[in-house]
Amino acid sequence: MSPGDGRLSHDLDPSDRGPQDACGVFGVWVPPDEATRAEVSKLAYYGLYALQHRGQESAGIAVSDGDRIVVFKDMGLVAQVFDESVLNTLRGHVAVGHCRYSTTGSPTWENAQPTFRSTDSGGLALTHNGNLINTPELAARLEPGAGLTGTSDTEILTALLATREGGPFAAAEEILPVTRGAYSLVFMDEQTLYAARDPEGIRPLVLGRLPVAGLAGHGGETRQGWAVASETAALDIVGAQFVREIEPGEMIAIDERGLRSRRFAEARPKGCLFEYVYLARPDTTIAGRNVQSTRVEVGRLLAAEHPVDADMVIPTPESGTPAAIGYAEASGIPYGQGLVKNSYVGRTFIQPSQTIRQRGIRLKLNPLREAIKGKRLIVVDDSIVRGNTQRAIVAMLRESGAAEVHVRISSPPVAWPCFYGIDFATRAELIAGNLDVEEIRASLGADSLGFISLDALISATRIAKDRLCRACFDGQYPIPVDEDSRGKFLLEEAGKK
């Protein structure tokens, strides 16, 4: 279930789901006099399409023509929410877009993004990737009768920014320094595109230049647009040239005056290590390091740390493919395909019967019996969360005649939940939170089990250990989390009380 190659967002059995993604954010600004030809809504659509792997519950785009902001959003995939006729009605020169997986608040239309609020001078549309950890504290800053329509941390942040005087830039300078947690924000008013990233820079956010064909400035120079996105792959898709990352603790504004940058907090870099393992597309670059190259290198290191005699290395498609390639290269054991993935399985709203649920793994993956019969197999996957999927795969391979099944995982055991934008299981539900490696092996029914070490994974990223968030692997949270501020449905529970 690959981040960059059509990973499934929901297994047939909810108890069998893996780590669910953060969200994808995208923004674009072009010179106003070229807005119609630039078709910013379609640029936003393609940007979101490139980020679909980061969230598959809902999608939305907000567009401004300079006078008013129009928001269109709905539940479903990007291609389900938008079509040509809808995009043609969204005309303007600035747009922000979002694809969501809920990490705070239920997966409802009210919680879909962009969120919108009226301000004294117009409107504000905001998109958010991450998770705030002081939501009750922020909610207490709202005036009585704030009129919240959703139950997400994003809704509260939008309301705070919209009710401050001086416009979004000044409001953000006041609110963001007291906002704790992970937030990569892309937001807009009628004229300006804004972006901001939390001081730890936990979630990625990048800036790109967007050539606008046939548009010249007063001096004859070619003018340009700008794009902001969760991943560099989204910039590539819309033809934007990568400029740099938005720095941790930095906020930018883009309008006809150009790009302005201001630092609202000191940078304390703690980029998410799990982006390299699972979340980001393989063709994305984070902190100067290509994700695909990192995953292949992890496979090589995994082979050195956990060698085993076998006949073939196979991946769990597609998430295990890069590491399996690296494992095969380093071990000298042939790489092969033992499992076939159904590329057309996506999110389904049809609930399976219990009989189908029990065989649900077959809908996604099916073994190549002739390729694996009688073989000693090394099966490489990116992570183990609950273990249900790997357990089903091991059983399936044995039923298909595999002589031995050795499982290799290209991340350390996930033993701690994430509070910064990934909807992991609770610690009680995480298999590595309750069992040691040998007990996990026995639970999976594998002949052997090996996880990459944390130090080896970090070395493959070429980023210093103290500049990475490793909390899901070692329990060391870079931003302390108050027990009372935890919980996906915190605001909904508070509302009921």
Written as one string, the DSSP assignment of 99-164 is EE--SSS-SSGGG-SSEEEE-SSSEEEEEEEEEES-HHHHHTTSPTT------SHHHHHHHHHHHS
Q: Is 395 exposed, middle or buried (0-12, 13-18, 19+ CB in 10 A)?
A: middle
Residue count (the chain): 497
Contacts of the segment 163-167: beta carbons below 8 A, 24+ positions apart? 163/117, 163/119, 165/120, 167/119, 167/121
Under the banding of pLDDT at 50, 70 and 90, the label for residue 12 is very low
pLDDT of 103: 59
pLDDT of 145: 64
Instruction: Decide if pLDDT at 58 tops 50.
Output: yes
Residues 264 and 295 in one domain: no
Q: Is 232 exposed, middle or buried (0-12, 13-18, 19+ CB in 10 A)?
A: buried
Residues 145 and 263 in one domain: yes
Tokens representing 187 are 């937001």
Residues 200 and 341 in one domain: no
Half-sphere exposure of residue 277, counting CA atoms within 13 Å on the CB side? 33
Residues 6+ apart with CB under 8 A from 354: none
DSSP β-ladder status, 312-315 and 376-381 = parallel
Instruction: Decide if pLDDT at 170 tops 70.
Output: yes
Q: Is residue 8 in some structural domain? A: no
Tokens representing 268 are 């304390």
pLDDT of 20: 53
Q: Is residue 469 in some structural domain? A: no
Q: Is residue 380 in some structural domain? A: yes
Catalytic residue among 8, 22, 23, 394: 23
Residues 245 and 348 in one domain: no
Per the annotation, does 99 bind a ligand?
Answer: no
Residues 396 and 306 in one domain: yes
Q: Is residue 494 in some structural domain? A: no
Instruction: Decide if pLDDT at 369 tops 70.
Output: yes
Encode pLDDT of 412-442 as tens digits: 999 999 999 887 768 888 999 999 999 999 9
Residues 174 and 258 in one domain: yes
d(CA 405, CA 173): 55
Residues 170 and 301 in one domain: no
d(CA 44, CA 87): 10
Residues 383 and 446 in one domain: yes
Estimate the crossing angle of helix 321-331 against helix 291-305, to 10 degrees: 50
Under the banding of pLDDT at 50, 70 and 90, the label for residue 19 is low
Name the residue with higher pLDDT: 33 or 305: 305
Average pLDDT, the chain: 87
Count how many domains the chain has: 2
d(CA 430, CA 386): 5
Q: Decide: 377 and 315 in contact? Cβ < 8 Å.
A: no
Domain final residue, candidates 270, 303, 332: 270
For the whole model, what pTM was predicted? 0.88
| CATH (domain of 249) | 3.60.20.10
Alpha helix positions (H), 192-266: 232-238
pLDDT of 85: 94
Tokens representing 119 are 């301000």
CA angle, residues 22, 24, 30, in degrees to nearest 5: 160
Q: Is residue 493 in some structural domain? A: no
Per the annotation, does 120 bind a ligand?
Answer: no
Residues 336 and 403 in one domain: yes
| CATH (domain of 442) | 3.40.50.2020
Half-sphere exposure of residue 28, counting CA atoms within 13 Å on the CB side? 37
Encode pLDDT of 259-268 as tens digits: 999 999 999 9
Q: Is residue 488 in some structural domain? A: no
Encode pLDDT of 402-411 as tens digits: 999 999 999 9
- 99 in catalytic set: no
Cis-peptide into 31, omega within 30 deg: no
Q: Is residue 116 in some structural domain? A: yes
Residues 335 and 216 in one domain: no
Query: Which residue range forms the structural domain that includes residue 315?
Result: 290-462
Tokens representing 137 are 């504290």
Task: Report the DSSP beta bridge partners of residue 8.
Answer: none
Closest to 410 measured CA to CA, from 466, 364, 367, 449: 449
Domain final residue, candidates 204, 236, 270: 270
Cis-peptide into 318, omega within 30 deg: yes
Per the annotation, does 472 bind a ligand?
Answer: yes
Least confident of 149-158, 240-249, 258-267: 149-158
Residue 401 one-letter amino acid: G
Residues 93 and 230 in one domain: yes
Q: Is residue 480 in some structural domain? A: no
Residues 261 and 301 in one domain: no
